[in-house]
Every structure is written in C-alpha cells, then in structure tokens.
C-alpha cells in the first residue's frame, strides 16, 4: 500500500504490519502481495526526498524512475506523454506531483470505465493511431521516437505517445511482438528496433518499437546471434496519393500543351 490511489492497489507486508500494529488484527503474512514500487532501490530511495532522488539521477544522466520529471501541462497546452510502468503492464503519465500515475477515464453517460492496463480488451480503441492491441497477452512497449503520419507531403507527429500496448508471444526461446492486424516480429536482443509502416485511413503511419529484454516477458530465452544493424519490420511504403499526384501533373502538362497548341 502507498500513499496514493491507483487502479492496482497492493496489500504488501507493510500494509499488514500497519494493521497488526493497530492491535486489532493478526494478519497472515503469507498472503502479502509484492510491492514493486521502490523495490531494490536502496536506502537513498527510502530515506531521501523524491526531489533529491530525481536531481541525483538527472545529474548522473539516468532516468529518475519510479519518479518522473516531465511536465504534464504548461498552462497553454497538454504536454502529457505516455510511458510504460516498471512492470510493463500499463501505460503511465507523468503529472509532476511528482509521481507516476496510471490513468483512468469514464465514458460519458455510462458506467463503463477504461483505464491504461494492457491486459483489458475493453481498452481497445477503434482507429487507434499507434495500432495498439489490448488483451491478456499484451504488454507495454516503448518507442524510439514519436510515431508520425505522412500523406501527400504533409507530416504529423504523434508526440504524446512514447509507449503503447502490444501483443507478445514467447516461442522457442525468442520473444515476438505484434501490432494490430500484423504478423509477429522477432525481438532478438534488448534495444532492438522493430519498424512499423502501415497505411491506415489514407495516411502512412510509421513507428519504431524498442524491444525489451526477453527475460522480462519469457521464462525461457536463448541468445540469437544477429547483427545489430539487421532491419526488422515492414518494408518501405510510398506515401498515399503519390501516384495520384503524378497523374495530376501529367494531366496539367497535357492540358497546357493543348492550350498552347490552340493559341499558336
């Protein structure tokens, strides 16, 4: 148990000890749940302030996990960016209280609630920009950079996404991942990039998923010798309307030729 409410409460040994100290309960510690927050982070994490922890990590060029230092809103626009929780079972937003907080929202005029857990199929959203997959075999994966959409020379960056929920499979000692309606992509080593290219709703959507360590998801893993520059992912695709643009130029040239021919 921690000092904030989340969608995944944990009744740890600390919680049970607090109940026992009240003098009213005799808890069974074998039923205690594991508290991942702050696990194995040492005495500095337990004794120093969150501000000291964050500043020390930043000075060393390290991430301040499990805290964060990204501004959610600058007073003019939202700067919220999705990340993965440490267990990779949910998406998280930094709201700079500062602490990581899983988020939850309620559909209007209904009691149905959605949250950020990857395992819940009900969190699927039709027309999702980053081709996510929610379900029992889904986990949270990080992106190398924001996804982008291209169409007829126009480019849009989906900068508020830096993580997403995707399907995973452990097979013959190798971790595989998949986006919506895609084949399986192998993850041979931690940090490998999987390049996603898909034409959806008239836009070419491109993203790069960063593979986690196989051991994070699979009980049995084997090392596969591959070159670090081996390309894994979808083949290159032309931007939508590229062909129609060429036809338009040809039509304009033919029309101009006819006009000039009639004038001369």
Return the HEC string of 199-218. Answer: EECCEEEEEEEECCCHHHHC
pLDDT computed for residue 27 by the predictor? 92
263 within domain boundaries: no
* φ and ψ of 150, to 5 deg: -130, 140
Which of 144, 148, 130, 137 has the alpha carbon at shortest distance from 210? 144
Which of 7, 35, 5 has the alpha carbon at shortest distance from 120? 7
pLDDT computed for residue 99 by the predictor? 37
Residue 194 has pLDDT above 80, yes or no: yes
Please, where are the H alpha helices in the chain? Answer: 13-21, 42-47, 50-59, 214-217, 242-263
From the number of C-beta atoms within 10 Å of its C-beta (0-12, 13-18, 19+), residue 50 rates as middle
Distance (Å, whole) CA 182 – CA 78: 31
Residue 96 has pLDDT above 70, yes or no: no
Contacts 24+ apart (CB under 8 A), 218-225: 218/170, 218/173, 218/175, 219/170, 220/170, 220/173, 221/173, 221/174, 221/175, 222/172, 222/173, 222/174, 223/189, 224/174, 224/186, 224/188, 224/189
Distance (Å, whole) CA 164 – CA 70: 18
Q: What percent of the chain has pLDDT over 70?
A: 76
Residue 224: domain span: 117-245
Distance (Å, whole) CA 57 – CA 53: 6
234 within domain boundaries: yes
pLDDT bin (cut points 50, 70, 90) of residue 178 is: very high
Residue 126 has pLDDT above 80, yes or no: no
pLDDT bin (cut points 50, 70, 90) of residue 98 is: very low
Lowest mean pLDDT, pick from 24-28, 93-97, 106-110, 202-206: 106-110
35 within domain boundaries: no
pLDDT computed for residue 245 by the predictor? 47
pLDDT bin (cut points 50, 70, 90) of residue 161 is: confident
Which of 150, 177, 190 has the alpha carbon at shortest distance from 233? 177
29 within domain boundaries: no
Number of domains in the chain: 1
Note if the pTM is more than 0.95.
Answer: no
Cβ-based neighbour number of residue 61 at 10 Å: 6
Instruction: Render the burial of 212-222: b for 16+ CB within 10 Å, e for the rest.
Output: bebeebbeeee
34 within domain boundaries: no
Lowest mean pLDDT, pick from 31-35, 63-67, 97-101, 251-255: 97-101
Residue 253 has pLDDT above 80, yes or no: no
108 within domain boundaries: no
62 within domain boundaries: no
51 within domain boundaries: no
């Amino acid at each position: 148990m921690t000092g904030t409410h989340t969608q995944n409460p944990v009744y740890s040994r600390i919680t049970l000890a607090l109940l026992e100290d009240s003098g009213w309960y005799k808890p069974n510690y074998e039923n205690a749940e594991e508290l991942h927050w702050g696990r194995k982070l040492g005495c500095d994490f337990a004794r120093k302030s969150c501000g000291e922890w964050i500043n020390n990590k930043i000075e060393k060029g390290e991430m301040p996990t499990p805290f964060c230092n990204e501004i959610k809103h600058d007073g003019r626009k939202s700067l919220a960016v999705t990340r993965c929780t440490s267990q990779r079972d949910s998406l998280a937003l930094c709201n700079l209280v500062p602490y990581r907080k899983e988020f939850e929202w309620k559909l209007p005029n209904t009691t149905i609630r959605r949250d950020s857990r990857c395992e819940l199929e009900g969190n699927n959203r039709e027309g999702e920009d980053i081709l996510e997959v929610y379900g029992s075999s889904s986990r949270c994966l990080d992106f190398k950079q924001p996804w982008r959409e291209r169409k007829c020379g126009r480019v849009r960056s989906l900068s508020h996404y830096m993580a997403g929920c995707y399907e995973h499979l452990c097979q013959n000692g190798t971790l595989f991942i998949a986006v919506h309606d895609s084949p399986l992509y192998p993850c041979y080593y931690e940090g490998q990039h999987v390049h996603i290219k898909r034409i959806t709703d008239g836009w070419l959507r491109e993203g790069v998923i960063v593979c986690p360590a196989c051991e994070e998801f699979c009980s049995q893993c084997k090392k596969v010798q591959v070159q670090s520059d081996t390309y894994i992912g979808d083949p290159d695709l032309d931007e939508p309307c590229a062909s129609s643009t060429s036809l338009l130029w040809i039509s304009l040239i033919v029309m101009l030729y006819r006009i000039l021919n009639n004038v001369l």
